[in-house]
Amino acid sequence: MSKAVNSIVVAGGGSAGWLTAGLVAAEHQANQASGLNVILVESPDVSPIGVGEGTWPTMRRSLQKMGVSETDFLRACDASFKQGTCFSGWQHGAEEFYYHPFTPPQAFNETNLARFWQPLRERVTFADAVSPQARVCESALAPKQITTPEYASNINYGYHLDAGKFAQFLRKHCVEKLGVKHILDNITTVNTDTDGDIQSLNTQSGRRIEGDLFVDCTGFSALLIGKHYDIPFISKQHILFNDRALAVQVQRESADEAIASSTHSTAQNAGWVWDIGLPARRGVGYTYSSAHSSDEQAEIELRSYLKRTAGVAVSESCSPRQLKFNPGHREKLWHRNCVAIGLSGGFVEPLEASALVMIELSAKMLSEQLPANRSIMDVVAKRFNEKFLYHWHRIIEFLKLHYVLSLRDDSDYWRDNRREHSIPESLRESLELWRYQCPWHMDLPHVDELFSSASYQYVLYGMGFKSEGPGGRQSDLVARARVENLFNDNASRTRQLLEGLPSNRELITKVHKFGFQKI
Ligand SMILES: Cc1cc2nc3c(=O)[nH]c(=O)nc-3n(C[C@H](O)[C@H](O)[C@H](O)COP(=O)(O)OP(=O)(O)OC[C@H]3O[C@@H](n4cnc5c(N)ncnc54)[C@H](O)[C@@H]3O)c2cc1C
């Protein structure tokens, strides 16, 4: 008989560790005597990375699945609502900007509005023609009302959150409500059986933690998948150049300052600055390419951004924290009885905040496909590897799209980003096709694509790309009449939302005071 999987050991207690432990524990009733045994061990000396503050809408489902109250989460994690990303200065390096909102275009499943928007491009932006969300973000409005139940919404949203508080919040919830056993100790050695499976982990204080399946959530140190198993790391730096970040926190000056409804990404000489608005502070950082900028020059650019957006005093007094990374991922994520989730599996610049969603999806697949015994584990591992390597491929390609479309010519960084050898062939092919037809469902073949063709449309047309050919088949009069109605519906829904939604700040203040209606 093959050994049953009864006990899972999660190594690492950052966002990856606690999200994984929580989602697996909730699915497999770790808080019941008959449930799965879920143990999380984290170092008392190595803090979680403490960045990673923008989520996707998927986080609502993950929190709900773990039985977290949205009100408690928003209060404890200094969280606010995120409705997409606003990209500034990406096209020409000027004052221009465009939105990649979370809500897909109107009637996206039935009609490809992008084709019908092409003749209107001088009159209205693509995002404004097909969705109300860019305008809602422009006005710093919330995605819902205080009377909307927890996790429900008028318009799609994820969160901005304080990563440090998030890990602490999840830890408390996982331990007190979900039955996760928590060990604070340093992992020192990994013990294997004769086949090479991990049997147990030794810790500094002399513990031996046994398990049937081990999840490596030890961040960049990748203790199990990297240091122990030596699974090769595939660098993607020849495609995505950014390998450094400088991060700061900017405290709010007053408790009623507006809170942005989207992440702001402002292009710089050798990378871009992120700006994430939380109720009590902003998280700001510059991610750049060390091959194109010195650390000193990057710091000057970051301070200059802070001077413009937070004032001279903040710009001069802040002490940016530097993070170094090699953009890329492991050759495989699941090896023998060890699966890597989070930074241990890979990381690329946070341009579309794709790291936390990869953690959520990995934890979801792990818990839903949890192998009952060792003999079927390799089948699940193979499928897991196929799925997540595909996701990595797609993420890298989608991030590169932002650079390839830029017309900036003011530094080697932007010029190098458009050099043919740095662009994946599949992306070059797609761009050629999209010159003649607008992307739609057929362009992205999997049902669970991370970036749907709607995302491609927002970035392509936000960046001024033109699809000039006939495309589609909906050129008859009936389709035109229907499309006219869709554009009009969008315009009237936009007006309604602009009139009816509270500001992000107003809603957060009310949540802190009254809370949402529980569902
Ligand atoms: C600059 C930057 C910006 C980012 N922005 C975003 C964003 O906007 N959105 C997004 O989705 N993601 C973002 N990310 C990614 C995000 O921060 C991570 O994916 C997320 O925080 C998960 O990290 P982790 O849990 O894998 O690793 P970590 O947070 O580093 O946690 C590692 C854990 O391993 C433990 N550990 C290490 N060694 C040992 C040992 N010997 N024994 C026991 N325990 C050990 C540590 O104690 C810690 O608990 C960003 C990342 C960076 C670098």
Does pTM top 0.85 for this prediction?
A: yes
Q: What is the whole-number distance in angstroms between the Cα of residue 416 and the centre of ligand 1?
A: 29
Which amino acid does the sequence have at 403? Y
Protein residues whose CB sits closer than 6 Å to any atom of ligand 1: 11-17, 41-43, 46, 48-49, 51-54, 163, 186-187, 217-219, 221, 223, 245, 247, 285, 323, 325, 342-343, 350, 353, 355-356
Q: What is the whole-number distance in angstroms between the Cα of residue 354 and the centre of ligand 1?
A: 13
The residue whose CA has the least distance to atom 19 of ligand 1 is 355
Task: Tell the residue number behind the tokens 């710089």, with chain if given.
Answer: 268
pLDDT top residue among 470 and 241: 241
- Which ligand 1 atom sits closest to the C-alpha of 56? 11
Token pair of 26 as six digits: 């909730």
Residues forming beta bridges with residue 52, ordered by sequence position: none
Give the pLDDT score at 470.
Answer: 54
Mean pLDDT (whole number) for 190-206: 98
- DSSP class of residue 142? -
Do 305 and 266 touch, CB atoms closer than 8 A?
yes
Q: What is the whole-number distance in angstroms between the Cα of residue 47 and the centre of ligand 1?
A: 9
Cα–Cα distance list, 131 to 99, 108, 333 (Å)? 11, 10, 37
> Which tens digit of pLDDT belongs to each residue from 471-509?
445 556 668 889 999 999 999 999 999 999 999 999 999
Q: What is the whole-number distance in angstroms between the Cα of residue 511 and the centre of ligand 1?
A: 28
The residue whose CA has the least distance to atom 16 of ligand 1 is 52
Give the pLDDT score at 471.
Answer: 46
> Which tens digit of pLDDT belongs to each residue from 42-59?
999 999 999 989 999 999
Give the pLDDT score at 445.
Answer: 84
> Which tens digit of pLDDT belongs to each residue from 147-185?
999 999 989 999 999 999 999 999 999 999 999 999 999
In this structure, the number of other CB atoms found within 10 A of the CB of residue 319 comes to: 6
Q: Which of 218, 263, 358 to mutate to test the pocket of ligand 1 (most atoms within 8 A of CB)?
A: 218
> Which tens digit of pLDDT belongs to each residue from 280-315?
999 999 999 999 999 999 999 999 999 999 999 999
Give the pLDDT score at 472.
Answer: 47
> Which tens digit of pLDDT belongs to each residue from 306-355?
999 999 999 999 999 999 999 999 999 999 999 999 999 999 999 999 99
